[in-house]
Structure 1
């Protein structure tokens, strides 16, 4: 039995997805989409970045007939990357949180830029930009590879871990503050 066949089905499906985390499938990323396919809640024809090739891979894995991409979820396009018009960028940082792979560098009130080699072309940074300084251009890469998908998955998982840690730390700080306030209020009522 191959290593792929030993992995849980959701892992096998996720391994076939492009890991752009674009949400065009209707789910919050590639892993949730893989789980939805595994649970029979989503069809194999919902991933525009994966296109016909991705649908065929999923069909082969699941032993179901391939079908064309459902146009309700978009169309397959050549690879693109985000580019920021740095002269127009106001440094608002609204493009940073939606980037699934932290491919955008910048700080508040500073110019931002995209690291093209890390950009998945998801387009999630475009809508939040208040000055419309982000556009999509053809990627220098002619093909999204398994190595690109693996890198994207790792960066996305690292971002999620970092965000979860930050949320846990924030929650812990708030709890400590509440406990301190409760002690202070208790001390005031005792006087």
Structure 2
């Protein structure tokens, strides 16, 4: 018989957003199996998601617990490429490798791979990432197909396998943190200069 955690995992939208309080969808599924988590902690799954989990666990269904968020449309991360400093912090945060770019170069989001998890937002030092509604008028599982969930899970698991492999010491540049700090400072100064220029231009 397939373990309950595996069946619960199949029923989750695979956004890997951590809003449930666990590091990923698999962690949440295991917590549900162990009785450590409620079935109402997944805002991306919404009310239908709670019903799916109720049918699997036998627990009573109800609304999504607002402590973990509210059901809403699927979001899409968008990078303002004019302000992106190429710090790569968003690359590290994205659970499905939906963001591409290299150090000190403009990054961009590959729309079909983005789950709208929002994890890239808080790590951006220059606030150049915003969210756009990808499914206006549709929320929960109505905004997220099983095919999309399967695709997101495959990308997340592939990323996890890759990250578990030890990296050769030569691939890690010790000066990377310094480069990032320098890039952030340069971006802030550039913004300040741009704002000053606009102010002077608008003066009569």
1:2-13 mapped onto 2 (5 Å cutoff): 6-13=1-8
SS at match of 2:15: coil
1:27-106 mapped onto 2 (5 Å cutoff): 27-106=22-101
Match of 1:14 among 1, 9, 15: 9
- Aligned partner of 1:189 in structure 2 is none
Find the aligned partners of 1:140 and 1:113 in 2 and give their Cα distance: 20
- Aligned partner of 1:150 in structure 2 is 150
- Aligned partner of 1:181 in structure 2 is none
TM-score, with normalisation over the residues of structure 2?
Answer: 0.78
- Given the superposition, is the C-alpha separation of residues 14 and 8 from structure 1 closer, same or farther in structure 2, using an over 3 Å criterion? same
The alignment yields a C-alpha RMSD, in angstroms, of 1.3
Find the aligned partners of 2:164 and 2:12 in 1 and give their Cα distance: 24
TM-score, with normalisation over the residues of structure 1?
Answer: 0.83
What do the CA deviations read for 1:8-65 (whole angstroms, capped 9, x no partner)? 1100000000000000000001000000000000000000000100000000111121
Q: Structure 1: any 5+ residue segments left out of the alignment?
A: 1-5, 171-191
- Aligned partner of 2:179 in structure 1 is none
- Rg larger in 1 or in 2? 1
Find the aligned partners of 1:127 and 1:8 in 2 and give their Cα distance: 35
Find the aligned partners of 1:140 and 1:41 in 2 and give their Cα distance: 32
Find the aligned partners of 1:29 and 1:109 in 2 and give their Cα distance: 29
Query: What is the number of equivalent residue pairs in this alignment?
Result: 164
1:94-133 mapped onto 2 (5 Å cutoff): 94-133=89-128
Find the aligned partners of 1:162 and 1:139 in 2 and give their Cα distance: 29
Greater relative contact order structure (CA < 8 Å, 6+ sep): 2
- Aligned partner of 1:187 in structure 2 is none
Alpha-carbon deviation of 1:140?
5.6
